[in-house]
Chain A
């Protein structure tokens, strides 16, 4: 059975999404947008070219460029209808002048706000979209530790970092919580940590229809436990006043607010901060299936595909206050 032909949510997923989107029209909009392809979005690699110059070059090719966010000219949408894979085949892509990236996936780094000379840990870094974005913001200063566990995914990460000219990163291969534990033992600490956690991918239904088939509730519970272990070990690496951005591409509260709730309860010195982004965000859910989370989880940000014509995403920003 081809995943591309599957366009219906499994009944339990549909039921859960209805609970998250109780307004009937809202839920219908959600279902409608899942049928549409995602926009052709790219991010300019500021390490190699300016937004103005790339825009000029792409327009010369006949592409119509839309820069939807005034303060982020590096984020571009190609309005033309492109053939499959065309974005990845252009000379400008091969030169590393841009990265093909869904807009929702750019939001965690906009939240992290990397600064020059910071030490940043990107714990689940492959395939490298966010690592290259961090390096671009840091102008190749500071140090990024880009870790992942899977050797195949690390090859893709390494290729993407090379194509984008990232020279301030060290790529490591280790299971996330084990890596954090060892880093702590050896006295490492970071200004910022990005934990873009492995997740059930409910937010990627538009671009990855296989998720319709693969989704199951059991994996959500398992992933939730993994995510809690990861966030616990990652928080322990933060310098005083350090920040951690937690993100997933799923809507499941067990993988999102429940993980943040766990972190806030586990660590007295960790506070959640509100997130300001150039897209519509909805607040986190504080009640889910007979569980009540600390009310501060409402400061998390839920991105639904129907709100901004993107994929679905979740993110939260935590700070170590003492």
Chain B
């Protein structure tokens, strides 16, 4: 699996983009990229040279925590991305109520009108629930199957 640790300049582009979309100013630690889209926080303290050595020794399956995906010119944050950066998220936030939060965590899109467009951070009370994509009449859901709420008995 090809892992790239982004250079400061590349990291700055991600931060600039996240600033425009969500008001985020700074990403902690390094950013690793797997493939061409997936971004990972890496706060580990191994230097790049050590990570390269490690790749020679054994298959490196993953590094750090998956927090965002580049989609075209935009960035979609994962649940961990929104949770980790919640203190910095000041714009592009859509707040939902308890019933909507339950629907959202079941993986369902939210059929409602919003002024927002594009990727929005979904928030319920103090919890951030990842990103959705807002269009005129709905917010599309990206909660992965493994993180979805299964139907529960009341």
Contacts and interface: CB of A to CB of B under 8 A. Distances in A.
B83 interface: yes
Interface in A124-139: none
A83 B154 CA distance: 12
B46 interface: yes
A171 B101 CA distance: 32
B127 A173 contact: no
B108 interface: no
B85 to A, nearest CB: 11
A147 B58 contact: yes
A83 B151 CA distance: 13
Query: Which of A83, A89, A162 lies at the interface centre, i.e. has the most chain B CB atoms within 10 A of its CB?
Result: A162
**Main DSSP-derived SS at the A contact region:** mixed
B143 to A, nearest CB: 9
Contacts of A154: 61
A229 to B, nearest CB: 17
Interface in B18-71: 28-29, 40-46, 50-51, 53-54, 56-66
B61 A158 contact: yes
A179 B66 contact: no
Given A162-B80, A186-B56, A170 B29 contact: no
B131 interface: no
Contact of B66 (A117, A162, A168, A174): A162
Given A165-B84, A186-B53, A117 B45 contact: yes
Contact of A142 (B44, B58, B152): B44
B65 A170 contact: no
Contact of B147 (A117, A161, A163, A186): A163
A182 interface: yes
A89 B152 contact: yes
Contacts of B56: 186
Contacts of B89: none
A91 B29 CA distance: 28
B149 interface: yes
A140 B46 CA distance: 13
B117 interface: no
A147 B59 CA distance: 10
A110 interface: no
B61 A171 contact: yes
Contacts of A163: 80, 147
B113 interface: no
A167 B45 contact: no
B147 A167 contact: no
B83 A170 contact: no
Nearest to A181: B57
A96 B80 contact: yes
A13 interface: no
A7 interface: no
B146 interface: yes
Contacts of B65: 161-162, 165-167
A315 to B, nearest CB: 26
Contact of A182 (B57, B61, B148): B57
Contacts of B79: 95-96
Contacts of A167: 28-29, 40-44, 64-65, 84
Query: Which of B28, B40, B62, B150 lies at the interface centre, i.e. has the most chain A CB atoms within 10 A of its CB?
Result: B62
Given A182-B58, A183-B57, 7 more contacts: A89-B150, A143-B44, A145-B54, A159-B146, A162-B80, A169-B64, A188-B54
Interface of B: 28-29, 40-46, 50-51, 53-54, 56-66, 79-80, 83-84, 101, 105, 127, 146-150, 152-153
Interface of A: 48, 83, 89, 91, 94-96, 117, 119, 140-145, 147, 154, 158-159, 161-163, 165-174, 179, 182-183, 186-188
9 contacts: A48-B83, A96-B79, A96-B80, A142-B45, A169-B44, A172-B58, A172-B60, A182-B58, A186-B56
